[in-house]
Amino acid sequence: MPEFAITVTIRNRPGMADPEGETILRDLVLRGGGSGGASGGIPGGISAIRTAKALEFRVSAGDAAAAEDLVRRVCEEMRIYNPLVSEAVFSAGSN
Amino acid sequence: MRVAVVVFPGSNCDRDMHHVLSEFGMSPEYRWHEDGIPGGTDAVVLPGGFSYADRLRAGAIASHSPVMDDVRRLADDGVPVLGVCNGFQILAEAGLLPGALVSNDEPGFMCRWTEVVVGSTGTPFTSRFSGGDVLGIPVANGEGRYHADERTVRELEDAGRIVFRYAGDLNGSAGSIAGVCSEGGNVVGMMPHPERAAEPDVCPPGAAPMAPLFESLRAAAAA
């Protein structure tokens, strides 16, 4: 059976504060990397940063859809993410 | 009174809790999380610490430990269960208490004394307090911001299930909630550490603000 890499991205549900993302945006990115930094000044157009945790499952399965289904089920049954505060995005890629 | 102090890999407030329970005349017993809780146990405490190094998220892995089947059964039977800090996170993850504990609004670890206001005195851990008492207590956590949607917070308020609130906005917690209880009142979770505020030697001069919590538990056993 082929092996698939299923990535689960766990991030806060919309509306949940993301203090880490806010700090990265406010205290690093919008400061342009400090005086004389390589980025050369304050970048424009960036309005938000959301942090997330990514888990990569390596799964042997008949096809990518079956691998993703299995990972989705495991994540729900084992509460790999807490649906009260987080959402999970599943994406498949073969290796 | 036999009190089980559950020890998970990464618990680090278990000995403090054991010490204080002893000082207040109870008989604490360590229970490894892979073992059961024996019959005749009068109360259960899930102490603070970093179970499984907070991997995945605080309390998530420990909430699936074998001991949690017994904790759930005892909770259903009305036995007093207290979760402090990581213990509260575990109880919330296990669904024994409502809501979730997420990262503080100031990222990083917060370790300081603060003040809480006593809410419900209808639990086995708070009967010796007076509602509205403002008391000093330390907090030490990175994921201590209580989250529940507005409706849940309102329901908890209406049902008298908010046990402690911060005296101000400490960390962004919904409703400034520091501790809640189960519908039956016998399961209590709180982020601040009562075991670090129950003896004058470790508190600001002349105070032992959380002594009544342990006196309440001892009285609950005698009742």
Q: Over the stretch A29-85, which tens digit does the pLDDT of each residue have?
A: 888 755 444 555 566 789 999 999 999 999 999 999 999 999 999 999 999 999 999
Q: Do A20 and B147 touch (CB under 8 A)?
A: no
pLDDT bin (cut points 50, 70, 90) of residue B194 is: very high
Beta-carbon neighbour count of residue B223 at 10 Å? 7
Nearest by Cα to B107 from A54, A24, A88, A13 = A24
pLDDT over 90, % of chain B: 96
Give the tokens for residue A10.
Answer: 């766990």
* Closest approach of A3 to chain B, Cα-based (Å): 24
Q: Is B217 helix (H, G, I), strand (E, B) or coil?
A: helix
A45: contact with B, CB 8 A cutoff? no
- In this predicted structure, the answer to whether residue B205 has a pLDDT above a threshold of 60 is yes
Q: Tell me: the pLDDT tens digits for B106-131?
A: 888 999 999 999 999 999 999 999 99
- Longest Cα separation, chain A: 54
Beta-carbon neighbour count of residue A23 at 10 Å? 16
- Longest Cα separation, chain B: 43
Element (H, E) at A69: helix A64-77
Give the model's pLDDT for residue B127.
98
Averaged over B86-95, what is the pLDDT? 98
* Closest approach of B180 to chain A, Cα-based (Å): 17
Give the model's pLDDT for residue B93.
97
Whether the CB-CB separation of A11 and A51 falls below 8 Å is answered with: yes
* Closest approach of A73 to chain B, Cα-based (Å): 16
Give the model's pLDDT for residue B143.
96
> Does the annotation count B85 as an active-site position?
yes
B99 interaction partners in chain A (CB closer than 8 Å): 84
Give the model's pLDDT for residue B163.
98
Q: Which residues contact B123 (CB under 8 A, 6 or more apart)?
A: B80, B163, B181, B185, B186, B188, B216
Give the model's pLDDT for residue B68.
98
Just give the CATH number of A3-94: 3.30.1280.10
A16 interaction partners in chain B (CB closer than 8 Å): 102, 147
- In this predicted structure, the answer to whether residue B188 has a pLDDT above a threshold of 80 is yes
Best B93, B106, B147, B151 residue to mutate vs chain A (most A CBs within 10 Å): B147
Nearest by Cα to B121 from B31, B211, B212 = B212
CATH of the domain at B122: 3.40.50.880
Q: Do A82 and B107 touch (CB under 8 A)?
A: no
Q: Is the dihedral of CA B15, B111, B190, B103 positive or negative?
A: negative
A85: contact with B, CB 8 A cutoff? yes
Supply the range of the domain harboring residue B174.
Answer: 2-222
Domain boundaries, chain A: 3-94
> Does the annotation count B18 as an active-site position?
no
Give the model's pLDDT for residue A37.
47
> Does the annotation count B29 as an active-site position?
no
Per-chain mean pLDDT for chain B:
96
Choose among A19, A23, A85: nearest Cβ to B147. A85
Give the model's pLDDT for residue A36.
43
A12 interaction partners in chain B (CB closer than 8 Å): 102
How many structural domains are present in chain B?
1
Averaged over B161-178, what is the pLDDT? 97
B106 interaction partners in chain A (CB closer than 8 Å): 19
